[in-house]
Amino acid sequence: MEGKRFFVVVGTRPNFVKAAPLMKELKENSKINPVLVHTGQHYDYEMSASFFKELDLPKPDIYLGIGSGTHSEQTGKIMIEFEKVCLREQPDLIIVVGDVNSTIACSIAASKLLIPVAHVESGLRSFDRTMPEEINRILTDQISDYLFTTCKDANENLIREGISQNKIFYVGNIMVDTLLSHLPKIYNSNILEMLGLKRNESMKKYAVLTLHRPANVDNSSILRGMLDALNSLSKKVVVIFPAHPRTIQMIQNFEMNEIINYRNKIASYDFEKEKKVIFAIPPLGYHDFLCLMSKAALVLTDSGGIQEETTVLGIPCLTLRNNTERPVTVKEGTNVIVGNNPKKILKTALNVLKDVIREKKAPKYWDGKTAYRIVKILDRNFKEMPKGKK
């Protein structure tokens, strides 16, 4: 196919959500030939494949199959393999999304080959450098040629770090493009029936929990305290926990199985008769999870993307971290930072359940048109790259 070859890099399931609308928009531009590269950082192929199908993402053109490892091992492997692909395929531009190891690894490899880099979701900062993702964000932004931001705070962060203003483009939140375009399928999910949440009137209220960050799940005392607080919450409201396999493994390693009721497949619960504990289930697909979350009275999470999704959906969200790289969700959205203090988690959750959160509008440009704006900017500005770059 004729046209400029733009690589779109994905490595983890959150990346897929952000890449889907971008690939669709790029394919509609006759002057651009988009190539989807999957590093295989999330190495469970079946889970990846289900997300690709749900999000209408094309099968990856290039699959690196990197797999697991420490942060350094994974980053190094991706750099080595991605460099080989770039030398062979000669892309004109590399587009990376988010803040995972695939993001920084492919950015470094491309930059050293003098291939321009575009970073979607630039400028987000938690100001906590103990988070590997924070290092990935900062370094990727420093070597990117196009920096696409989700909010004004991100622009300000980049300018403060010395990034040239003519490289920064405030385009909005691309994840919202996916959410809004999939709402009919999300609301058509039957996950509530499958879990038994629609069986009787008492199930009108439930909370959704996600927990996966090493700072929360790798420390036995922190994990125990959080789960104890959430277990107390489960006596007041049903708590549904789509659990990452690694989190379940840590719960088992720390011998905390009594705090959760875990089934390794989706099945209907009898919430009235079963012991009131945290109900843990396997990870859900995109549509099922968004449906479950959209009907919840409360969401408790340590995920960044869920803070944004709850803001758009208008669902109260308690972030189980001491900081967030998405402060706009606190300032304009439905998000409250509670950290990992058990007493604060329980007290805030109970207070939220008593009150209906006031309606808040989504931030500017969180309107489903972010991918359109990105492609329009790339189409217009690509030829203006500095000399020495492709």
Tally of domains within the chain: 2
Same domain, 215 and 348: yes
pLDDT in the model for residue 267: 86
Same domain, 340 and 380: no
DSSP 290-331: HHHHHT-SEEEES-HHHHHHHHHHT--EEE-SS--S-THHHH
pLDDT in the model for residue 7: 98
CB-side exposure of 234: number of CA atoms within 13 Å?
23
CA distance 118 to 29: 17
Amino acid identity for residue 131 in this structure: M
Which residues span the domain enclosing 281?
184-354
Same domain, 316 and 222: yes
Q: Are 347 and 146 in contact (CB under 8 A)?
A: no
Residue 291 has pLDDT above 60, yes or no: yes
Q: For residue 279, give both structure tokens.
A: 């109900």
Report, as residue numbers or ranges, the catalytic residues: 212
Same domain, 350 and 371: no
Same domain, 371 and 348: no
Q: Is residue 359 part of a domain?
A: no
Which residues, at least 6 apart from 240, have a Cβ–Cβ distance to it below 8 Å? 195, 197, 206, 207, 208, 209, 279, 281, 292, 296
Which residues, at least 6 apart from 58, have a Cβ–Cβ distance to it below 8 Å? 23, 36, 52
Beta strands in the chain (DSSP E): 4-10, 32-38, 62-63, 93-97, 117-122, 146-149, 168-170, 206-209, 238-242, 260-262, 278-281, 298-301, 317-319, 335-337
> Alpha carbon 106 to chain centroid distance?
18
Same domain, 201 and 309: yes
CA distance 288 to 158: 36
Same domain, 192 and 115: no
Q: Is residue 130 part of a domain?
A: yes
Same domain, 263 and 350: yes
CATH assignment of the domain containing 54: 3.40.50.2000
Q: Is residue 226 part of a domain?
A: yes
Q: What are the counts of helices (DSSP H) followed by strands (DSSP E) for the chain? A: 17, 14
Q: Is residue 361 part of a domain?
A: no
Q: Is residue 360 part of a domain?
A: no
CA distance 313 to 284: 18
pLDDT band for position 234 (50/70/90)?
very high
Same domain, 22 and 70: yes
Which residue(s) pair with 32 in the sheet?
A: 4
Specify the higher pLDDT residue, 389 or 304: 304
Same domain, 253 and 162: no
CA distance 20 to 14: 10
Same domain, 14 and 51: yes
pTM over 0.85: yes
Q: Is residue 179 part of a domain?
A: no
pLDDT (tens digit per residue) in 34-83: 999 999 986 565 567 778 889 999 999 999 999 888 999 999 999 999 99
Q: Is residue 178 part of a domain?
A: no
Same domain, 162 and 215: no
**Can you give the C-alpha Rg of the chain in angstroms?**
21
Q: Is residue 137 part of a domain?
A: yes
Among 50-59, 125-134, 160-169, 371-380, which is the least confidently predicted range? 50-59
pLDDT in the model for residue 140: 98
pLDDT band for position 383 (50/70/90)?
low
